[in-house]
Amino acid sequence: MNVLLLVLGSAALLVGGYFTYGRWLSRAVFRLSPTAPVPSVELRDDVDYVPTPPAIVFGHHFTSIAGTGPIVGPALAIMWGWGPAVAWVLVGAIFMGAMHDLAALVVSLRNRGMTVGEVAGRLLNRRVRLLFLVLLLFALWVVLAIFGWVIASVFVQFPESTLPVFLQIPIAVWIGLKVHRTGKNLFWPSLVALALMIATVWLGAGCPGLEWTGGTLGAAIRAFNATVAAWPIWAWVAVLLAYCYVASVLPVWILLQPRDYINSLQLIASLGLVVAGLAAAALVGGPAVADAPRPPLEMVAPLLDLHPVKAPPIVPFLFVTIACGAVSGFHCLVSSGTSSKQLRCETDAHAVGYGSMLLEAFLAILVIVAVGAGIGLGWPQAYPGLAGSALWQTIYADWSKVTGGSAIAAFVVGSGNLLGALGIEATFARALMGVLVASFAGTTLDTATRLQRYVVQELAGTLLPAGAAWTPQRPRPAGISPLQWPLWLLSTPHGATLFAVGSAFLLALMPAPGKPWNLATLGTGGLILWPLFGATNQILAGLSLIVVSFYLLRRGLPTWIATVPMVFMLAMPAWALATDVQRWWAGGSWALVAVAALMLAVEAWMIVEAVLLWPRARGVLEAPLPPLVGRSQA
């Protein structure tokens, strides 16, 4: 019962934050207006800039920011105890993360959908813009390589999730075409899509319940699952990045929006089932096994453990380990990269920006409960005969052995146990949770590809002569030398996307650190730089809050809402990264040391630029945007 009260109390705090602090930010600070001009209308091209109903943008935004971050982070950080993990998720999400996401969305909305890097150039200076874009390029490069590996790992560990994930694509295209062409209400298409997606999960699980027919279909599906589980990681990464290339260059309404939207329906429905299973397990016990009594649900993880085996210190590493779910720099890229180009009304930013982050925080709370209590109900496939605290202590015996893959597996099994309390068949329950993880990672992967395309195009445009970059109105190179043609190619959508997926695949093709070069290890190269991503991602949050702070400063608005979390999110990840550098130096990991030093230097440079400019920017508006040529002014 205490576990259930923990979840219900957390939900109440998050809802309260939405209607109090979040509403104050939207109405009193940012003064969102339903009549304000928005980029999706001013710059509409039906490719990237598309006015879209808020439900669809919410689905896109939520699934894109969530990914596997709010699953892996809390599932690792629980080693310091579920108490600090829950506290950081709740405080961080309400007062830092949701504010950060909303602010980045609003600032981009009011700068014609520019990414936060582009806006930094307007609010600070061109040097900061270039530094920001380079940092974004690196962060997204690692995201593309590592998330390809994450999804491939889910397919290998839980092959029953493979078929449903790919069958979602034609369902998404169908609903995208239907809504875009007919403009009909989303209610009935949404119900049909959700029913079809649940059916695909049942199909991928081998059609449980149809054994009485002879099980021919189920046997064929299980044989298919066994085949795809044997695929090498690099092959899956290649397939996934090829899909991302297509998704990135297509108009958002064909695949990106509807896939994210129907994924959000399935994911929210799955989370609802987890909550229902949690209630059942708390009230009547876990899954029934033969004639044995139903095991009680209890928190088997410790409330607080300051010294887990081989773990880094809780401060500052808790605030780097749990990023998505509390506050994450990647979110500013989604807010300013794709979501700001789709909102059809400025006031929708409250639900999309602030609300999505709080829903992600609730997901993080459910993850903490799944791996802290649900896993105690048993994991017979991997740990037969173990349950309760003994099972938890076995899984979490050593920080160095709890990797991202094992953390995801712990969540899938723990949440599957909660679904089992509802009487849901075990294979189907695991398939449902596996699809949840793979779908989250997949939506983040294709959104990240599109974001990387934007960043590459912006960087290429910066290095080309003024007015020489590709635009829809200027589709051929003009006024540049042959040596600049590669840069011009990178300024095109297809050229930038090819660079994004190609460079990520080259990184992924390398084996993970310490692994030999062979077919079994190829595709894990994202793990080479993955140790840098946590701190780099959180530094990005601090740097984006610098941009927000200058937006508020120039308009005479209260800056403390951004500067307080900004200082925290600059200090903690820098502290963590500096600590890691000492360890990497001692271990001879020179590549990590070099890149970490570069990241710290970029952060320091941008902080110095901001401090020097701060006194001169107070109350001074940035230069106005140039008029839109050939477009009516809203």
Residue-wise pLDDT tens digits, 169-215: 898 888 888 777 766 666 777 788 888 888 888 888 888 776 544 46
Tokens matching residue 555 = 């308009």
Q: How many CB atoms lie within 10 A of CB 178?
A: 17
Ramachandran region, residue 345 (left: φ > 0; alpha: ψ -120 to 50; beta: rest) = beta
Q: Are the C-beta atoms of residues 151 and 168 closer than 8 Å to each other?
A: no
Is 410 a member of any domain? yes
Query: Mean pLDDT highest for which of 102-116, 145-159, 420-434, 616-630?
Result: 102-116
Is 622 a member of any domain? no
Alpha helices (H) along 338-471:
349, 356-372, 388-395, 404-420, 426-463
- CB-based contacts of 307: which residues, under 8 Å, 6+ apart? none
Report, as an integer, the average pLDDT of 399-408: 81
- Residue 630: pLDDT band (50, 70, 90) is low
Round to whole Å and give the CA distance between 598 and 151.
Answer: 29
Report, as an integer, the average pLDDT of 126-132: 89
* Per-residue pLDDT at 362: 97
- Residue 632: pLDDT band (50, 70, 90) is very low
Is 624 a member of any domain? no
Is 231 a member of any domain? yes
- Residue 633: pLDDT band (50, 70, 90) is very low
Phi, psi torsion values for 52, nearest 5 degrees: -135, 140
Query: Mean pLDDT highest for which of 183-192, 360-369, 509-518?
Result: 360-369
- The CATH number that applies at residue 10 is 1.20.1740.10
Beta bridge partners of 474: 471
* Per-residue pLDDT at 629: 67
Residue-wise pLDDT tens digits, 248-271: 898 988 888 888 888 888 888 888
Please check the confidence at residue 444 and state whether its pLDDT lies above 80.
yes
- CB-based contacts of 250: which residues, under 8 Å, 6+ apart? 256
Please state the domain count of the chain.
Answer: 1
Q: Which domain holds residue 96?
A: 2-617
Is 191 a member of any domain? yes
Phi, psi torsion values for 429, nearest 5 degrees: -65, -45
- According to the 3-state scheme, what is the secondary structure of 291-339? CCCCCCCCCCCCCCCCCCCCCCCHHHHHHHHCCCCCCCCHHHHHHHHCH
**Among residues 544, 537, 540, 535, which one has the least CA distance to residue 596?**
535
Tokens matching residue 233 = 């990681």
Is 75 a member of any domain? yes
CA distances to 113, 422, 454, 459 from 626, in Å: 14, 59, 20, 20
Report, as an integer, the average pLDDT of 396-418: 87
- What mean pLDDT value characterizes the chain? 89
* Per-residue pLDDT at 323: 94
Residue-wise pLDDT tens digits, 551-582: 999 999 999 999 999 999 999 999 999 999 99
Lowest mean pLDDT segment, chosen from 99-113, 420-434, 452-466, 620-634: 620-634
Is 630 a member of any domain? no
Report, as an integer, the average pLDDT of 379-395: 89
Residue 44 three-state SS = coil
How many residues does the structure list for the chain?
634
Please check the confidence at residue 330 and state whether its pLDDT lies above 70.
yes
Q: Are the C-beta atoms of residues 546 and 564 closer than 8 Å to each other?
A: no
Tokens matching residue 99 = 């504010």
* Per-residue pLDDT at 512: 81
Is 471 a member of any domain? yes
pLDDT > 70: percent of the chain = 97
Query: Mean pLDDT highest for which of 195-204, 445-454, 511-520?
Result: 445-454
Round to whole Å and give the CA distance between 504 and 455.
Answer: 14
- Residue 5: pLDDT band (50, 70, 90) is very high
